[in-house]
Amino acid sequence: MPADEQPLPSVWTRPQPQRREQPALSRQQIVSAALELLDAEGIDALSMRKLGTRLNAGATSMYTHVANKDELLELVVDEVYGEIETPATGDPAGWRAAVTCCAHSMRATLLRHPWIVSVLGEAGLAYLGPNVLRLQEAMLAMFEAGGFSLQAADQAMNTLVAYVIGISTSEAAWLTTLARSGQSEQEWADRLWPAAEQAVQGYPRLRKLYAVQRTQGLNSTRDDDFDTGLESVLHGLANYLTNDG
């Protein structure tokens, strides 16, 4: 079969089999169990066999809905995206507040499921899922309400999502490391600071920066850094809109 006639490897493009009898498991049951497993044990723990054991189900019941682990991840990624809040706005002056709310919700969602950042670029056609499409449609509407053309809204949305995913990836990696260590952020920092301060003795700007950061709470620092970066992104997008208009 020519390459352009090969079926696309995605759960969203594969026709669902027609079955007269009710399957033993629903797709939602499989996705919910997979999400619980991923949140509890991380991406390396997920396998079709382990999931089947968790559900007390045979492979046949699961393969009715998903052909393999990649398709399962597409479904779970889309399930996670369904948690992101998308406030509606028709007020041109309210687009920044709506986008800010959505960005904060996206960050919080990614940090609740830190395993997801390792598969966002590898989940096949995950971005054809209904929750992802709903999110994209809502975000485009937010930017359009602020005066962006559809094309400019698409660019603005991609810029915003790239920022949130980029900073959340680093945060998720940090929180995953903490979880594995069994220590709190403060406990980890207290152990690390002496070595860090010694390492930057020859770098006056870093030394000054570290001295200030040591007096701040790590969690509040991460929140403040996110807010500052988000404001910078939105300020830049607003300037782009003004200058482009």
The pLDDT of residue 161: 94
Give me the residue spans of the domains in the chain. 3-80, 82-244
Structural Rg of the chain based on CA atoms: 22
- DSSP conformational letter for 15: P
Q: What tokens were used for 17?
A: 């089999």
Neighbours of 77 (CB within 10 A): 22
In tens, the pLDDT along 147-201 reads 999 999 999 999 999 999 999 999 998 888 888 888 888 888 888 888 999 999 9
Higher confidence at residue 115 or residue 2? 115
Q: Which fold has domain 3-80?
A: Arc Repressor Mutant, subunit A (1.10.10)
What pTM was estimated for this model as a whole? 0.84
First to last CA, the chain: 49
The pLDDT of residue 185: 81
Task: Round to whole Å and give the CA distance between 216 and 214.
Answer: 5
Residues 181, 185, 191, 195, CA torsion sign: positive
The pLDDT of residue 8: 65
- Please check the confidence at residue 128 and state whether its pLDDT lies above 90: no
What does each C-alpha distance from 140 to 85, 90, 131, 156 come to in angstroms?
14, 12, 14, 9
Task: Round to whole Å and give the CA distance between 73 and 35.
Answer: 9
Region 82-244: CATH code: 1.10.357.10
Report long-range pairs for 151-156 (Cβ below 8 Å, ≥24 apart): 152/240, 152/241, 152/244, 156/237, 156/240
The pLDDT of residue 244: 66
Give residue 107's pLDDT band: very low, low, confident or very high (50, 70, 90): very high
